[in-house]
Amino acid sequence: MELGHAKVYPRDINYIMMTPSAAGGGYVSFVHELGHALGLHHPWKSIGTYKDRLKRIEAREMQLKTYLANNKLYKDNIKVGNFGKTLGELRNEINKELAQLRQEKTAKIRLNPKIYFKRSTTENIMDYNGYNDTKTQEIIYNTFSEGTTFWKWQWDLMNEEVKTYHSKLL
Ligand SMILES: [Zn+2]
């Protein structure tokens, strides 16, 4: 189940971490983690997927834009309250953060699964073999057992990720 770790975002990240048992236990866990590193989320809704993070990004964007708007009449060289910085420096930092948030938002929209399935109900490699239901303490097994497929849109996305982020010669 959770035998390794790889991040979906930032999109150009390139590490996969696996426990020795998972690494020695056949190809499925490795391919699953590779899927994450190439932009794939699990096929069910989770904190790591788009919606919750997108909400937080949008709230932060609103906060930063409101600050810029409320202070737009002041000059760059004004010292800002407790920050020990000038307003100009703070504006630069805010604009940098806004650019990062925009980039992440675009990625989230692109990488979000189009359809969500219940956990452990598909043959997909990005699904789980099973999981422990925290409410009922029941172990739910996936009748498809080990994942065997990627879906067409996942192949397309992985291709795009490889071309865009992982194919540059050093
Ligand atoms: Zn996973």
Cα of 168 to ligand 1 centre, how many Å? 26
Q: How many residues does the chain have?
A: 170
Pairing of strands 79-80, 4-5: unpaired
Q: Separation of 34 CA from ligand 1 center, angstroms?
A: 9
Distance 158 CA to ligand 1 centre (A): 15
CA of 19 to the centre of ligand 1 (A): 13
- Cα-to-centroid distance, 39 and ligand 1 (Å): 11
- Whole-number Å distance, alpha carbon 122 to ligand 1 midpoint, is 14
- Indicate whether 79 and 105 sit together in one domain: yes
In this structure, is residue 101 part of a structural domain? yes
Give the integer Cα–Cα distance in Å for 151 and 123.
10
Q: Is residue 131 a contact partner of residue 46, using CB atoms and an 8 Å limit? A: no
Q: Are 16 and 37 in contact (CB under 8 A)?
A: yes
Domain that holds residue 31: 4-47+118-165
Identify the band that residue 87 occupies on the pLDDT scale cut at 50, 70 and 90.
very high
Read off the tokens for 148: 């065997």
Q: What's the predicted TM-score (pTM) here?
A: 0.74
Q: Residue 114 has which token pair?
A: 């189009």
Task: Kindly indicate the confidence band of residue 1, based on its pLDDT and cuts at 50, 70 and 90.
Answer: very low
- pLDDT (0 to 100) of residue 2: 56
Q: Ligand 1 centre and the CA of 22: distance in Å? A: 12
**Residues in a beta bridge with 139:** 132
Residues 40 and 59 in one domain: no
Distance from Cα 2 to the centre of ligand 1, integer Å? 7
Average pLDDT score over residue span 45-56: 74
Pair (57, 41) in one structural domain: no
Mean pLDDT of 91-98: 96
CA of 169 from ligand 1 middle (Å) equals 28
> Does any domain span residue 59?
yes
For residues 122 and 40, is the Cβ–Cβ distance under 8 A? no
